[in-house]
């Protein structure tokens, strides 16, 4: 459903390319994990898919095809039609990613307001449904709250609701659980799995945490220094990593079951 | 609502404190009002009589409270210089000053807020230099200098108003308004420059925040981001700034009233300082101080209506 | 402290340099005596003989403006000296030691800075008595203390718990040493732009007060007083108002550009 072909991104202020020629596909209805340490180019990859890179400050080449359209070279008005409507994005810090002065319900309904001609009443109904989808208790009350009145986990749920409200084909999740507590993190992962199953939304899940990715994704891509080092079935990569970097990454995961060397 | 009540209580306390300090300061400096009124050759009996008449034989705190209550019942004592009740002298002048400040404030808002948002778009280096330099130039212009120029051009040459001959507000409202308009313009210029600058840097700062990226990712265009999200978020610091502007204007009005010959509080204050007419100075200083603290409170309350996060914190 | 050079800084320094140089020369030598009257040469337009013309007493306005600007400059300099030194001391001590004194002083400070400086200056002037150069300096100096105190306090309070200060303390440095050697130099970069703003406020406040006739009064002359004098004869000698006003504007403008340059230069270094 989404195909990246030989993507290069270079910021004018940096010597090295942030993304140095990666090719990757996201299949219909799958959750693809994109793993790498900070600075490996995984967020830049996601932002170039979402069309959120500052174009004046970087040089882009390659193609990103969504249903036959090249997102990388689309103009602003084309991108705006895709933003929120075909691609939803969830960012790392829910608190700072939400407009602090706008009621949660309005933020969740923003994509509907922009991309559909629904009446306000219809829109509200859809927003409440979306809030219900992300398992927020009492959507009617949440609708009228401000972001600071919610906990971090609830904020992130609201952000997910906002991203899926107008039923995009693809959801980009940029470390959505990194800023959250471990227990909340697990709940959000369950929620994402459920949304993937029930709505059939394809997702790209970016994380530096292999364990999280293992729980969620069938397929995973590993990035290092702007390059894709390994792509494949998650379980296969975990049990039989090919690339030395992947091997190091996996051996660095602390586990309770691993036997201590005698 | 709870916050608002707290804020208003704080305002009242501040007002009492400010008025107390002013009362105390003049009590120390002014010396014996009876002596001042009667001159050095007065007999001790006569002095004593006047003291009793003015109620100066009562303890300090009692006099303070009777002065404070006098403030709201219109009994502020008697001017040394004019031998008339202070309130009677001040009342018509309050109105003139308020008008000048009001016009000036409106000018500042309607000119600088749109320009501030618009100037956000100027990112070209050379334009930016000229814009900033022009801004600095406007801030450097003293209102009384613009006042001299404007009252010559629009007063003497074009005869829009008569410099030095201020019509009575109630008899010739339009004439008085014309007169005050130019005073307000002079007062506004440096402040407009400051507000634009402030507005611009606030909008630029907000544009870099994470929620802007979210808004773009939902399909907002540039205008949608600016109008739908950034402007409301930029408003809080701007409202605070406008509250300070309100305070600064009243300070600045002192000077432009002098240039344009508008009989307002500021001009009367200056004359009374020169004449050492302490009851008048004291009353005007406290009125102006009340004005300043009220402006701050109003700004806080407006901000609290804009930003729900401020409703939690109580004071500050 | 490193500051990247930029157009604002250069333009500001050149402009201010020229004006200040002329003012300093004017303190020692003026083309004519600023007080000598001449009935023959009254109300002359600017010419090579009288660069800025003459007033209704035939006094040379260029010489008067130089002298007046000298007074304005001296008062502004003295004012920010008082304000910044006292303010820095108060701000440094309360910021570094904190506690109840800090809380109370800063609340008081906040209240004071809410008031327009001209209003406070008028209040102080009415208490100490108007019409004297030293009282003007005193009034304005006092008025500017709180803003400097606040700026320094913020800087000191934020650095108080910085790691390098803690380690200096652990190594046995005294409070005095920490304050003077480790903290003070770090506040210079914050104080410097504040000084330019303070200077401009002082120039404008002094000019306003003298214009109102409660600042500097004859025989001393400052630009503000001269403008009030010039207003009366605007129709006959507009050059008097315009020249003395322009000197104020250029001085404040130049220093304003320096301030802008300092702030931008600093940002770019970061």
**Cβ neighbours of C247 in B, within 8 Å:** none
User: pLDDT at residue C102 above 70?
Assistant: yes
Whether the Cβ atoms of residue C215 and residue C143 lie closer than 8 Å to each other: no
For residue A158, what pLDDT band results from cuts at 50, 70 and 90? very high
User: pLDDT at residue B51 above 70?
Assistant: yes
Beta bridge partners of A224: A227
CA gap A134, A160 in Å, rounded: 7
CA angle at A208 for the pair A205 and A209, rounded to the nearest 5°:
90
Tokens for A7, please give them.
Answer: 């993507």
CA A25 vs CA A1, A142, A168, B69: distances in Å: 7, 36, 17, 79
Whether the Cβ atoms of residue A19 and residue A45 lie closer than 8 Å to each other: yes
**Cβ neighbours of C204 in B, within 8 Å:** 142
Question: What pLDDT does residue B111 have?
Answer: 94
CB contact under 8 A, C7 and B136: no
Q: Measured between CB atoms, which of A87, A88, A100 is closest to B309? A: A100
Which of A44, A88, A110, A144 best probes binding to B when mutated, by most B CB atoms within 10 angstroms? Answer: A110
User: pLDDT at residue C270 above 60?
Assistant: no
CA gap B90, B87 in Å, rounded: 5
Whether the Cβ atoms of residue B113 and residue B199 lie closer than 8 Å to each other: yes
What are B's interface residues with A at a Cβ cutoff of 8 A? 209-211, 213-221, 224, 228-229, 232-233, 306-309
For residue C18, what pLDDT band results from cuts at 50, 70 and 90? very high
CA B168 to chain centre: 22
Residue burial C162-192, b: 16+ Cβ < 10 Å; e: rest: eeebeebeeeeeeeeebbeebbbebbebebb
Pairing of strands A31-35, A202-207: parallel
User: pLDDT at residue B314 above 60?
Assistant: no
CA C7 vs CA B89, B119, B153, B200, C18: distances in Å: 53, 20, 35, 20, 17
CB contact under 8 A, B132 and C260: yes
Contacts of residue C62, defined as CB under 8 A and 6 or more positions apart, other chains included, come to: C30, C31, C32, C50, C51, C52, C243
3-state helix, strand, coil in chain B (%, to 5): 80, 0, 20
Of A221-225, C124-128, C235-239, which has the strongest mean pLDDT?
A221-225
User: pLDDT at residue B102 above 90?
Assistant: yes
**Chain C contact for B153 (CB, 8 A cutoff):** no
Question: What pLDDT does residue A262 have?
Answer: 47
Closest alpha carbon to A112 in A146, A85, A149: A85
Mean pLDDT for chain B overall: 85
CB contact under 8 A, B274 and C213: yes
Of B10-14, B163-167, C71-75, which has the strongest mean pLDDT?
C71-75
**Cβ neighbours of B213 in A, within 8 Å:** 52, 91, 97
Q: How does DSSP classify residue A148?
A: G
CA dihedral A123, A129, A133, A138 (to 10 degrees): 120
pLDDT mean over A209-238: 87
Count of domains observed in chain C? 1
Which chains does A contact via 3+ CB–CB distances below 8 A?
B
For residue B316, what pLDDT band results from cuts at 50, 70 and 90? very low
Decide: C and B in contact? Rule: 3+ Cβ pairs under 8 Å.
yes
Q: Measured between CB atoms, which of C115, C131, C260 is closest to B289? A: C115
CA dihedral B257, B262, B264, B267 (to 10 degrees): 50
Minimal CA separation from C64 to chain B, in Å? 17
CA A203 to chain centre: 7
Q: Measured between CB atoms, which of B136, B149, B270 is closest to C212? A: B270
Q: Is C153 inside any structural domain?
A: yes
Of A53-57, A196-200, C58-62, C233-237, which has the strongest mean pLDDT?
A196-200
Which of B213, B219, B227, B233 best probes binding to A when mutated, by most A CB atoms within 10 angstroms? Answer: B219
The pLDDT tens digits of the residues spanning B296-308 come to 889 989 998 888 8
CB contact under 8 A, B224 and A148: no
Q: Is C171 inside any structural domain?
A: yes
User: pLDDT at residue C223 above 70?
Assistant: yes
User: pLDDT at residue A185 above 80?
Assistant: yes
Minimal CA separation from B210 to chain A, in Å? 5
Classified as helix, coil or strand, A204 is strand
Count of CB pairs separated by less than 8 Å, A with B: 71
Question: What pLDDT does residue A143 have?
Answer: 93
Contacts of residue A244, defined as CB under 8 A and 6 or more positions apart, other chains included, come to: none
**Chain B contact for C243 (CB, 8 A cutoff):** no
Q: Is C230 inside any structural domain?
A: yes
> In which residue are the tokens 């000598």 written?
C36
Minimal CA separation from B139 to chain C, in Å? 8
Question: What pLDDT does residue B312 have?
Answer: 64
Which chains does C contact via 3+ CB–CB distances below 8 A?
B
**Cβ neighbours of C8 in B, within 8 Å:** 129, 132-133
CA gap A195, A165 in Å, rounded: 12
CB contact under 8 A, B292 and C122: no
CB contact under 8 A, B219 and A81: yes
Helices (H), ranges, chain A: 42-50, 76-82, 94-97, 104-108, 110-115, 120-133, 139-143, 152-164, 182-199, 210-216, 234-239, 244-251
pLDDT mean over C50-65: 78
Whether the Cβ atoms of residue C61 and residue C54 lie closer than 8 Å to each other: yes
User: pLDDT at residue B80 above 50?
Assistant: yes
CA gap C195, C108 in Å, rounded: 22
For residue B1, what pLDDT band results from cuts at 50, 70 and 90? low
CA angle at A112 for the pair A117 and B229, rounded to the nearest 5°:
115
Whether the Cβ atoms of residue B174 and residue B192 lie closer than 8 Å to each other: no
Question: What pLDDT does residue B315 have?
Answer: 38
Which of C10, C19, C109, C122 best probes binding to B when mutated, by most B CB atoms within 10 angstroms? Answer: C122
User: pLDDT at residue A52 above 70?
Assistant: yes
CB contact under 8 A, B217 and A88: yes
User: pLDDT at residue B218 above 70?
Assistant: yes
What residue segments make up the domains of chain A, in order of their start?
1-86+168-250, 91-167
Percent of chain A with pLDDT over 70: 97
Whether the Cβ atoms of residue C251 and residue C203 lie closer than 8 Å to each other: yes
User: pLDDT at residue C59 above 60?
Assistant: yes
**Where would I find the beta strands (DSSP E) of chain B?**
none
**Chain C contact for B29 (CB, 8 A cutoff):** yes
CA gap C13, C5 in Å, rounded: 11
Whether the Cβ atoms of residue A74 and residue A82 lie closer than 8 Å to each other: yes
Percent of chain C with pLDDT over 90: 11
Q: At what angle do helices C61-97 and C7-28 cross, to 10 degrees?
A: 120
CB contact under 8 A, A102 and B221: no
Residue burial C239-264, b: 16+ Cβ < 10 Å; e: rest: bbbbbbbebbbbbbbbbbbbbbbbbb
Q: Is C44 inside any structural domain?
A: no
pLDDT mean over B126-130: 83
**Cβ neighbours of B308 in A, within 8 Å:** 101, 146, 148-149
**Chain C contact for B138 (CB, 8 A cutoff):** no
pLDDT mean over B89-112: 92
**Cβ neighbours of A93 in B, within 8 Å:** 210
For residue C255, what pLDDT band results from cuts at 50, 70 and 90? very high
What residue segments make up the domains of chain B, in order of their start?
2-72, 90-314
Tokens for A188, please give them.
Answer: 């959000």
CB contact under 8 A, B251 and C214: no
- First-last CA distance in chain C: 11
CB contact under 8 A, C241 and B140: no
CB contact under 8 A, B306 and A148: no
Q: What is the CATH number of domain B90-314?
A: 1.10.3720.10
User: pLDDT at residue A17 above 80?
Assistant: yes
Choice between C1 and C104, residue whose per-residue pLDDT is larger: C104
For residue A261, what pLDDT band results from cuts at 50, 70 and 90? low
Say how many C-beta atoms besides its own lie within 10 A of residue C160's C-beta: 16
Contacts of residue C128, defined as CB under 8 A and 6 or more positions apart, other chains included, come to: C135, C138, C139
Q: Indicate the pTM of the whole model.
A: 0.84
Choice between C87 and B30, residue whose per-residue pLDDT is larger: C87
Q: Measured between CB atoms, which of C119, C125, C260 is closest to B288? A: C119
CATH superfamily of A1-86+168-250: P-loop containing nucleotide triphosphate hydrolases (3.40.50.300)
Beta bridge partners of A222: A35, A230
pLDDT mean over A129-133: 90
**Chain B contact for C232 (CB, 8 A cutoff):** no
Q: Which residue on chain B is closest to A81 by alpha carbon?
A: B219
CB contact under 8 A, C208 and B29: no
> In which residue are the tokens 């406290």 written?
B286
Question: What pLDDT does residue A257 have?
Answer: 58
Q: Measured between CB atoms, which of A91, A115, A149 is closest to B219? A: A115
Say how many C-beta atoms besides its own lie within 10 A of residue B71's C-beta: 17
CA C227 vs CA A182, B150, C137, C210, C233: distances in Å: 71, 14, 20, 9, 10
Residue burial B129-144, b: 16+ Cβ < 10 Å; e: rest: eebbbebbbbbbbbbb
For residue B30, what pLDDT band results from cuts at 50, 70 and 90? low
CA gap B288, B247 in Å, rounded: 9
User: pLDDT at residue B219 above 80?
Assistant: yes
What are A's interface residues with B at a Cβ cutoff of 8 A? 50, 52, 76-77, 80-85, 87-89, 91, 93, 96-102, 110-111, 114-115, 146, 148-149, 159, 162
Minimal CA separation from C38 to chain B, in Å? 26
The pLDDT tens digits of the residues spanning A58-87 come to 888 888 888 878 888 888 888 888 888 889
**Cβ neighbours of B18 in C, within 8 Å:** 111
Tokens for B80, please give them.
Answer: 């040394």
Mean pLDDT for chain A overall: 87
Q: Domain range spanning residue C116?
A: 2-26+61-268
For residue A203, what pLDDT band results from cuts at 50, 70 and 90? very high
């Amino acid at each position: 459903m989404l195909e990246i072909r030989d993507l290069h991104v270079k910021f004018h202020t940096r010597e090295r390319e942030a993304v140095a020629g990666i090719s990757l596909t996201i299949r219909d209805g799958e959750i693809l994990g994109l793993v790498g340490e900070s600075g490996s180019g995984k967020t830049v990859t996601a932002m170039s898919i979402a069309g959120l890179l500052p174009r004046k400050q970087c040089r882009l080449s390659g193609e990103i095809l969504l249903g036959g359209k090249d997102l990388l070279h689309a103009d602003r008005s084309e991108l705006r039609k895709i933003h929120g409507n075909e691609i939803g994005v969830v960012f790392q810090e829910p608190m700072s990613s939400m407009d602090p002065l706008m009621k949660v319900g309005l933020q969740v309904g923003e994509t509907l307001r922009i991309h559909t001609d629904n009446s306000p009443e219809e829109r509200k109904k859809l927003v409440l449904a979306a809030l219900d989808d992300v398992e927020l208790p009492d959507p009617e009350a949440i609708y009228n709250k401000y972001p600071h009145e919610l906990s971090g986990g609830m904020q992130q749920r609201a952000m997910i609701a906002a991203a899926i409200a107008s039923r995009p084909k693809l959801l980009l999740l940029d470390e959505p659980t990194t800023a959250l507590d471990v227990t909340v993190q697990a709940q959000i992962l369950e929620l994402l799995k459920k949304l993937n199953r029930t709505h059939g939304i394809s997702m790209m899940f970016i994380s530096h945490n292999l364990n999280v990715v293992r729980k969620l994704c069938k397929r995973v891509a590993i990035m290092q220094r702007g390059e894709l080092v390994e792509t494949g079935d998650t379980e296969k990569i975990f049990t039989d990593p090919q690339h030395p970097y992947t091997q190091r990454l996996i051996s660095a995961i602390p586990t309770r079951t691993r036997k201590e060397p005698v | 609502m709870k916050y608002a009540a707290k804020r208003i209580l704080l305002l009242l306390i501040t007002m009492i404190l400010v008025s107390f300090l002013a009362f105390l300061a003049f009590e120390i400096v002014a010396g014996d009002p009876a002596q001042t009124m009667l001159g050095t050759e007065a007999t001790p009996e006569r002095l004593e009589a006047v003291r009793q008449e003015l109620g100066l034989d009562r303890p300090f705190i009692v006099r303070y409270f009777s002065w404070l209550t006098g403030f709201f019942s219109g009994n502020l004592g008697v001017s040394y210089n004019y031998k008339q009740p202070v309130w009677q002298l001040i009342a018509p002048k309050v109105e003139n000053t308020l008008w000048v400040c009001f016009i000036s404030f409106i000018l500042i808002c309607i000119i600088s807020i749109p320009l501030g948002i618009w100037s956000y778009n100027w990112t070209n280096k050379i334009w930016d230099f000229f814009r900033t330099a022009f801004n600095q130039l406007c801030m450097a212009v003293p209102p009384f200098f613009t006042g001299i120029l404007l009252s010559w051009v629009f007063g003497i040459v074009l005869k829009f108003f008569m410099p030095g001959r201020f019509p009575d507000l109630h008899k010739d409202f339009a004439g008085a308004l014309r007169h005050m308009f130019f005073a307000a313009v002079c007062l506004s210029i440096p402040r407009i420059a400051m507000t634009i600058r402030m507005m611009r840097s606030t909008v630029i700062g907000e544009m870099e925040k994470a929620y802007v990226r979210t808004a773009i990712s939902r399909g907002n265009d540039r205008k949608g981001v600016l109008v739908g999200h950034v402007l409301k978020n930029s408003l809080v610091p701007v409202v605070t700034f406008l509250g300070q502007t309100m305070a600064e204007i009243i300070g600045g009005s002192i000077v432009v009233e002098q240039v344009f010959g508008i009989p307002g509080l500021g001009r009367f204050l200056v004359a009374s300082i020169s004449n050492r007419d302490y009851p008048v100075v004291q009353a005007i200083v406290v009125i102006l101080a009340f004005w300043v603290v009220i402006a701050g409170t109003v700004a806080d309350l407006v901000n609290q209506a804009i930003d729900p996060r401020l409703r939690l914190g109580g004071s500050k | 402290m490193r500051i990247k050079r930029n157009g604002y800084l250069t333009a500001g320094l050149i402009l201010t340099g020229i004006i200040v140089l002329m003012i300093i020369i004017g303190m020692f030598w003026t083309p004519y005596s600023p007080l000598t009257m001449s009935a023959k040469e009254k109300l002359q337009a600017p010419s090579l003989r009288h660069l800025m013309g003459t007033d209704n007493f035939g006094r040379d306005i260029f010489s008067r403006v130089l002298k007046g600007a000298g007074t304005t400059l001296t008062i502004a300099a003295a004012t920010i000296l008082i304000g910044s030194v006292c303010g820095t001391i108060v701000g440094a001590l309360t910021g570094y030691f904190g506690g109840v004194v800090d809380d109370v002083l800063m609340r008081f400070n906040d209240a004071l800075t809410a008031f327009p400086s001209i209003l406070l200056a008028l209040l102080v002037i009415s208490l100490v008595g108007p019409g004297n150069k030293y009282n003007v300096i005193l009034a304005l100096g006092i008025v500017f203390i709180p803003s400097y105190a606040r700026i320094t306090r913020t800087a000191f309070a934020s650095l108080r718990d910085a790691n390098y200060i803690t380690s200096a303390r652990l190594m046995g440095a005294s409070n005095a040493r920490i304050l003077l050697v480790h903290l003070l130099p770090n506040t210079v970069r914050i104080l410097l732009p504040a000084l330019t703003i303070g200077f401009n406020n002082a120039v404008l406040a002094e000019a306003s007060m003298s214009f109102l006739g409660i600042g500097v009064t004859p025989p001393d002359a400052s630009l503000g007083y001269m403008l009030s004098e010039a207003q009366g004869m605007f129709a006959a000698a507009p050059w008097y108002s315009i020249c003395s006003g322009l000197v104020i504007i250029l001085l404040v403008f130049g220093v304003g550009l320096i301030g802008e340059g300092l702030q931008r230069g600093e940002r770019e270094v970061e």
